């Protein structure tokens, strides 16, 4: 007869917290409830909660801030590692984006879908509206939605997961490179990618995607 090993309480609690992060109940960038509240809610000791939070901090999912509580840093371990290692070069982020986005654009153009095209159109329209209103936060959100829409339209779950893990770095790279008024070449580069996907031209979509990132890196 084999023995049934009970999962340690700390691991059970850390998995509950991980589930809250992955589900979006605890959004990235938000402060989570304090140890006392969590311990009371779950009916466990504060020490158990503290160890569970510490384990998720070590993976990069959470970030404890002295005197300010604990914040969600990333939604999965890949993103946690990227942020924990403090990647500071925007060029590195852009190069990684170029590889993923070009591959995704090629796949999206091979089988363009009505839903995928609608998502990209909505993102471009939101991007233009935010630009005209000089609303940086809305512009970053819309531009992020456009690039994410391309990856999701690829239909490749591995690319989608990798891109999702880069969420924080992606938004940061867009925010740091955004400028109002935007150079017309940048908007045109976004349209080139969109049109290549819509026209079902994989080679043109990949080239346009690489070209877009290069244009951003050069500051147009």
Last residue of a domain, one of 23, 45, 75: 75
Containing 64, the helix (H) or strand (E) segment is strand 62-65
Last residue of a domain, one of 75, 109, 127: 75
For 198, the domain range is 87-217
pLDDT digits (tens, 9 = 90+) for 100-126: 999 999 999 999 999 999 999 999 999
- 158 lies in a domain? yes
In this structure, are 93 and 70 located in the same domain? no
| CATH code of 61's domain | 1.10.10.10
- pLDDT mean across residues, the chain: 86
Does the pLDDT value for residue 2 go beyond 60?
no
Nearest-angstrom CA–CA distance, 8 and 107: 44
In this structure, are 121 and 182 located in the same domain? yes
- 3 lies in a domain? no
pLDDT digits (tens, 9 = 90+) for 177-208: 888 888 889 999 999 999 999 999 999 999 99
In this structure, are 55 and 120 located in the same domain? no
Residue position matching structure tokens 């891109």: 163
pLDDT score at 4? 45
Does the pLDDT value for residue 11 go beyond 50?
yes
Q: Which of 181, 109, 175 is nearest to 144 (CA)?
A: 175
* Average pLDDT, integer, range 24-41: 91
- 19 lies in a domain? yes
With bands split at pLDDT 50, 70 and 90, how would you rate the model's confidence at 218?
A: confident
Nearest-angstrom CA–CA distance, 154 and 39: 42
Nearest-angstrom CA–CA distance, 170 and 151: 13
| CATH code of 165's domain | 1.20.120.530
Containing 118, the helix (H) or strand (E) segment is helix 114-132
In this structure, are 37 and 129 located in the same domain? no
Bridge partners of residue 70, in order along the sequence: 64
């Amino acid at each position: 007869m084999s023995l049934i090993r009970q999962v340690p309480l700390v691991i059970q609690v850390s998995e509950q917290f991980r589930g809250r992060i992955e589900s979006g109940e605890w959004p990235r960038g938000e402060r989570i409830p304090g140890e006392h509240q969590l311990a009371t809610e779950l009916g466990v000791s504060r020490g158990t909660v503290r160890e569970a939070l510490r384990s998720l901090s070590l993976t990069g999912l959470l970030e404890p801030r002295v005197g300010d509580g604990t914040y969600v840093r990333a939604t999965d371990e890949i993103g946690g590692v990227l942020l924990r290692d403090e990647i500071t070069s925007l060029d590195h982020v852009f190069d990684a984006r170029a590889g993923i986005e070009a591959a995704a654009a090629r796949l999206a153009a091979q089988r363009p879908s009505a839903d995928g095209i609608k998502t990209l159109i909505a993102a471009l329209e939101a991007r233009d509206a935010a630009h005209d209103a000089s609303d940086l936060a809305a512009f970053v959100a819309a531009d992020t939605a456009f690039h994410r829409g391309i990856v999701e339209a690829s239909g490749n779950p591995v690319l989608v997961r990798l891109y999702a893990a880069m969420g924080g770095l992606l938004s940061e790279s867009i925010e740091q490179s955004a400028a109002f008024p935007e150079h017309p070449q940048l908007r045109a580069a976004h349209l080139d990618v969109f049109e290549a996907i819509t026209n079902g031209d994989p080679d043109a979509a990949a080239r346009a995607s690489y070209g877009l990132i290069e244009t951003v890196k050069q500051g147009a």
